[in-house]
Amino acid sequence: MVENRPTMKGRVTVYSVPGCPHCIQAKATLHTLGVPVCDVDLNKHKEIRARVKELTGHGTVPQIFFNNLYVGNNEDLQNLNPEQLKRLVLTLREEAVPLDAPPVPVENGTEIDGAWELSEALRNLILKLYSDHLSKDGKTVDYKAMSQSPYFERYCDLAVQLQRVELLSLSREEKLAFFINVYNALVIHGNLRLGFPKNIWQRYRFFNYVSYLIGGEVFTLQDIENGVLRGNRKGVAQILKPFSRNDPRLQVALPEVEPLIHFALNCGAKGCPPIKTYTAQDIDGQLRAAAEAFLENDDSCVIDSVRREVKLSQIFKWYKIDFGGTDEKLLNWVFDHMGASEKKKNLQSLLSAGKVKVSYLPYDWSINSTD
């Protein structure tokens, strides 16, 4: 019978060397606790040894951390009373690996295991970068300062691990959160590394060229948006669907389009929705809230009762098929996703009377940079 252990968000990091009896005993003890252990061989990864000594004040092994909490050596671990152990294990169960956790090698694949775990680690780094360099309204980014942040370098190192993730095991909710977060981060990554697209041709190249290697396959921004999140639909100015019938990436695509993604994806322009991060838990609720906030903004939706006209963001024009394909279905979708407000009451009045004109607001393509 397999024992069902509680899911752990955090990890124990053990710095050890092969054949060390104290290391072996410590890892055996941790195994009985059922906690996830990242065992770092300091003989193999000598570049980490100096950092470990700096953190602990000791050059001996093992050295043990529960997330970012330093426990000590094997003797210290064995001397913990049951209540102390219980609190440490509870920390791992409730708290993800923090940004200031002790270092572990990236290249051996032991740091992050699985697409969702990697997504969470990337998300935590993105949150840190956003909290430091994103405006309060989520509309502008201090790209210059972000490019100089050690957290951005850490993000770049971690993004390399995307090539090893297993995407087919992700649920719909996990795919939505994973690919939305990756898309928004990739736009920023591309802008920092390649510069900002300044015209239509440069934007076309940017979104069809900037990519990550994910699960052994190349995914451009266009692939993520139109191939995965829109259920393999043609994008703006695209003749063909992103994924052909025999393309292995087609297996990753959502079975049908999710219109709400349009209020979560940020292409780097000021006209885009604010940048946020998303989690798989209640992803639909988070996306509905993003849509509601977008429609509340007069830059995205204006109800002109006098002219019997509804002016919407260009996003609704470009992806009209996702919202039903006709003006009537589009307006009904907008109404259904508005929050309770005077704007919604005005739209309801127009819809009840019939004959509503739909037009589209100018789109602000200027770069969402604080510079």
DSSP 359: E
pLDDT in tens, 236-254: 888 999 999 999 999 999 9
As a whole number of angstroms, the distance between CA 253 and CA 245 comes to 12
> What is the Cα–Cα distance from 41 to 16, expressed in whole angstroms?
5
- Cα 263 → chain centroid: 14
pLDDT at 6: 53
User: Which spans in the chain are helix H?
Assistant: 21-33, 46-56, 74-78, 82-94, 115-133, 143-147, 150-159, 172-194, 200-209, 221-222, 283-296, 314-318, 327-336, 342-353
The pair phi, psi for residue 55, each rounded to 5°, is -75, -35
Q: What is the pTM of this model?
A: 0.69
Beta-carbon contacts of 93 under 8 Å, excluding residues fewer than 6 positions away, are: 6, 7, 8, 9, 10
Residues 6+ apart with CB under 8 A from 73: 22, 26, 58, 60, 61, 62, 63, 64
What are the φ and ψ backbone dihedral angles of 363, each rounded to 5 degrees?
-100, 135
Tens digit of pLDDT for each residue in 164-189? Answer: 788 888 889 989 999 998 998 898 88
Q: What is the pLDDT of residues 66-115, one digit of tens each?
A: 998 999 999 999 999 999 999 999 998 888 777 677 887 754 344 455 56
According to the model, what pLDDT value does residue 109 have? 40
Give the start-to-end residue ranges of the domains of the chain: 12-94, 115-281, 288-360
pLDDT at 267: 84
12-94 folds as Glutaredoxin (3.40.30)
Tokens of 10: 């955090």
Please write the tens of the pLDDT for every residue from 9-67: 788 999 988 777 888 889 889 988 888 888 888 887 777 888 888 889 988 999 999 99
| 119 DSSP β-pair partners | none
Which residues, at least 6 apart from 324, have a Cβ–Cβ distance to it below 8 Å? 330, 332, 333
Mean pLDDT over residues 337-354, rounded? 92
